[in-house]
Structures are given as C-alpha cells and as structure tokens.
Amino acid sequence: MDDRARRFRAAAFRYHRGKSGRGVRYPEELHQEGVSYAKARQQRGDSLLAISRDLGVKPVTLSRWLQQTREPEFRRVEILTSSQSVVGSGGASGVTVAMPGGIRIEGLDLESLILLLHRLA
C-alpha cells in the first residue's frame, strides 16, 4: 500500500469515525480521490480487488464509482426530415421513439416528445 492509499484510508476513517458497512457515504472529495487513484492503478495493470483492498472500500463500491465516471456512450439515431411522414404500425402518425431496451413509443407529438425526454434525462 502506498502513501496515497494510506491518506485516503485515514481521511475516510476520520470522516466515518470508524463506522463501516452498509450506508456509509463518502464525501465528494474522497470519492473523486478514490476514482483518480483507482484509474492510475488500473493503468499500471493492478486488479480492482487489490486497489479496493488498499483503499479500504468494497470492490463493488469502487466498481460503481468507476462506472459513474465513464463518459456516456453515443447511440446511432435516425432523424427524419419534417417532410417525411412517420406512421406507426397502428396507423398513428407522429414521432416514434425506439429505446435500447426494445421499448418503442409511437405517435408522439412534439410536446409529448419533449416531456418524455425531460423525464428520461
């Protein structure tokens, strides 16, 4: 274990006053430091298990932190011009939204589409 991991563990211990287990929350500064440290160690080829052991956090917690910091993935979309008519299988016209999980919503007007996008964001 290096000095950076020791400092992280000491700060986490002070913050939590020795408590551990479910529901322990880390302040944003510690969270960011843990992610930065883990990424540097992963680039050197160290395992997630070894890194989490050195930091004193559970592997699942560290894995979640790393996933939350990933850049969002772009997905292919098809945009139809306003002159093209969109007609769903039920004959409804309007905008059709097809989501990655296979969910398809047909016949949306512009106002409904905006509301849907706001709720999904």
Compute, in degrees rounded to 10, the torsion defined by CA atoms 52, 58, 62, 65.
Answer: -160
Q: How far apart are the first and last CA of the chain?
A: 40
The predicted-structure confidence for 16-67, as pLDDT tens digits, reads as follows: 776 666 667 788 888 899 999 999 999 999 999 999 999 988 899 899 888 8
Region for residue 23 given its phi and psi (left: phi exceeds 0; alpha: psi -120 to 50; beta: otherwise): left
Look at residue 35 and give its three-state secondary structure. Answer: helix
The CATH classification of domain 3-68, taken from the options 3.40.50, 1.10.3470, 1.10.10, 1.10.760: 1.10.10
The predicted-structure confidence for 82-106, as pLDDT tens digits, reads as follows: 555 444 455 556 777 777 777 788 8
- Tell whether pTM > 0.85: no
Domain ranges of the chain: 3-68, 75-121
